[in-house]
Amino acid sequence: MTQDALTQEVAQLAGELAEAEEVTPSRWRRFQDAATRLVRRSGRASRAGGARVGSGGRWLTAQVLAMAPRLPVRNQATLRAQFPGLTPEELADKLIQGSSRAAASVGAAVGAAMFLPLPAAPVEVLVETLAVVGIEIKLVAELHEVYGMRAPGPVAERMLAYVAAWADRSGVALVPGGLALAVGSPLRRRLQRRLIARAGRSAASLGPLLTGAAAGALLNRHETRRLGQDVRDDLRRRSPFSAAWPADGALYGQPVRRPASPDRPRSARRWRPSR
């Protein structure tokens, strides 16, 4: 299987984890097997134990950027059909709760699996981080759909904007300038730092006996819920609607343009619409 095909499989399985009512052992093993193959294909497995933190962060950054455009994101119409009768606020709550539950289940699964003969612990950290970050980026994208704030442009550009929103823990904003994730760019470095910190929390799942499972579940649930609430709070302030759905044909509003100013939050310095 090619690297692209493996990345596609990992993204699809991460999406399934996010939408599942329960992350069963068999469902987790499918993701774990695919992600472990991706890690080993890159050679990261043999170097993970002794690699510098920065090197691991660069690898995670590259993999997340490759995975993000392949994540299965439900649009507003699909979400409303899947959860009929809910207001935008109730639907946002439902998505945050579901993603938090999925992230907690991943942490618990990794911790519980430490009783079994599995790949080396550093590989497990990378695998769990890919799973949870995939769940969280999908959550960020679908919250934008709920509040009618879909990022402009084709799928690849939209998902890149949502990765930036994940790194900044806020909604996407249209501003002069643009989104740059070139090697060495400030945004890419910020994304790398966030991924390194996320991997550090994933290491809690590797604690002895069941303490790792409990710690991994608790930390993942708390972090994913906090991320969802931060993004939701930002979108709610700028959304054309939140208390009720708009009339048919007015599903998406235009994100607010913010002036280019050195005093504005970093989250506002990253996106421009595609021409």
Percent of the chain with pLDDT over 70: 69
Looking at residue 49, its pLDDT comes to 42
Looking at residue 202, its pLDDT comes to 60
Q: What is the DSSP letter of 240?
A: S
Query: Is the pLDDT confidence value at 270 over 50?
Result: no
Task: Please give the Cα distance from 62 to 59 (Å, whole number).
Answer: 5
Helix, strand, coil in percent for the chain, rounding step 5:
65, 0, 30
Residue with tokens 């506002």: 268
**Band (214; pLDDT cuts 50, 70, 90):** low
**Band (1; pLDDT cuts 50, 70, 90):** confident
Instruction: State the alpha helices, DSSP H only, in 68-170.
Output: 76-82, 88-112, 121-146, 155-168
Query: Is the pLDDT confidence value at 104 over 50?
Result: yes
Looking at residue 251, its pLDDT comes to 58
Rounded to 10 deg, the angle between the 25-42 and 121-146 helix axes is 110
Highest mean pLDDT among 26-40, 77-91, 108-122, 172-186: 77-91
Summarize pLDDT for 246-263 with one digit per residue, the tens. Answer: 776 455 654 444 444 444
Looking at residue 256, its pLDDT comes to 43
The dihedrals phi and psi of 214, each to the nearest 5 degrees, come to -65, -45
Extract the tokens encoding 119: 């790949």
Task: Please give the Cα distance from 172 to 235 (Å, whole number).
Answer: 8
Number of H helices, E strands in the chain: 10, 0
Domain borders along the chain are 3-244
**Band (3; pLDDT cuts 50, 70, 90):** confident
Extract the tokens encoding 65: 């950027």
